[in-house]
């Protein structure tokens, strides 16, 4: 795959899967802008401070990309947060924050970028979903709701923009070794008293492959979905979950 001369926006590109996608796109020739609230020093990409839950910040960041590069070819709407809690344990503030980042953040980013791609009459968009875009999990009321929502947003928006040669797909990882996972593990341990080893063993055993994935494994699939080699996929929810959702 080559991304030579492509201009890409990645939200939440400072850590985890987003970071791996940034590095792979840059290594293959793309000019990448990382929109995140956390700056990570890197020569590989351009960083723009941006809270995706704030539309004015998103609009300003995307305008900066367009002003500097003249186009936007690729978008990975990746920024998201996790919450390990059922409905009773979820405060109203926590609910609002998860909804703001995971749903509004994706919507706001699409709203800012799609008109540019529409004018260009081409573009590739990838949205970060989850295995919870397909199935439910305990203690994930707010988080799971948001991932179901972005799955439907993917399908509807793919239909709306297909005539403009814009593909919009959703990558749906399972259990991945990222900072989000470790925060959830710490919360689970605090509630149950389980050891780190016990929790990780449960997580590994849940997949038919019997292990959790590394971020780079998800990034490879993400880069294919953003590449020109993906020429006939749009509106797809793509599980990358070690077989978890096929059980």
- The rounded radius of gyration (Å) of the Cα atoms in the chain is 17
Known active-site residue 161: no
Instruction: Give me the catalytic one of 33, 143, 161, 244.
Output: 143
pTM: 0.97
Which tokens belong to 172?
Answer: 């749906």
Strand ranges inside the chain, DSSP E: 7-11, 31-36, 46-49, 74-77, 123-128, 166-173, 237-240
pLDDT, tens digit only, all 247 positions of the chain: 899 999 999 999 999 999 999 999 999 999 999 999 999 877 789 999 999 999 999 999 999 999 999 999 999 999 999 999 999 999 999 999 999 999 999 999 999 999 999 999 999 999 999 999 999 999 999 999 999 999 999 999 999 999 999 999 999 999 999 988 888 888 887 888 889 888 889 999 999 999 999 999 999 999 999 999 999 999 999 999 999 999 9
d(CA 97, CA 51): 12
For the stretch 155-163, contacts whose Cβ atoms lie closer than 8 Å and that sit 24 or more positions apart, written own/partner, are 155/235, 155/237, 157/110, 157/114, 157/125, 158/234, 158/235, 159/235, 161/114, 161/117, 161/118, 162/234, 162/235
Please give the domain boundaries of the chain with CATH numbers for all domains: 7-175+213-246 (3.40.50.720)
Token pair 């055993």 is found at 205
């Amino acid at each position: 795959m080559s991304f030579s001369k492509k201009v890409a926006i990645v939200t939440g590109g400072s850590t985890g899967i987003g970071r791996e996608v940034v590095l792979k796109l840059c290594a293959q020739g793309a000019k990448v802008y990382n929109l995140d609230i956390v700056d990570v020093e890197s020569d590989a990409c351009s960083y723009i401070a941006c809270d995706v839950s704030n539309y004015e910040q998103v609009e300003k960041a995307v305008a900066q990309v367009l002003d500097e590069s003249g186009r936007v070819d690729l978008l990975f709407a990746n920024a998201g947060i996790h919450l390990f809690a059922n409905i009773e344990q979820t405060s109203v503030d926590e609910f609002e924050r998860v909804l703001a980042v995971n749903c509004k953040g994706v919507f706001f980013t699409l709203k800012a970028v799609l008109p540019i791609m529409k004018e260009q009459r081409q573009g590739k968009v990838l949205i970060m979903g989850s295995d919870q875009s397909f199935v439910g999990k305990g203690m994930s009321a707010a988080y799971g709701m948001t991932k179901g929502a972005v799955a439907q947003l993917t399908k509807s928006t793919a239909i709306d923009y297909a005539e403009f040669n814009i593909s919009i797909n959703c990558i749906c990882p399972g259990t991945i070794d990222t900072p989000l996972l470790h925060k959830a593990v710490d919360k689970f341990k605090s509630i149950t008293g389980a050891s780190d080893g016990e929790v990780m063993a449960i997580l590994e055993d849940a997949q038919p492959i019997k292990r959790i994935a590394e971020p780079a494994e998800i990034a490879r699939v993400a880069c294919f979905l953003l590449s020109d080699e993906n020429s006939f996929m749009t509106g797809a929810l793509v599980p990358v979950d070690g077989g978890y959702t096929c059980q």
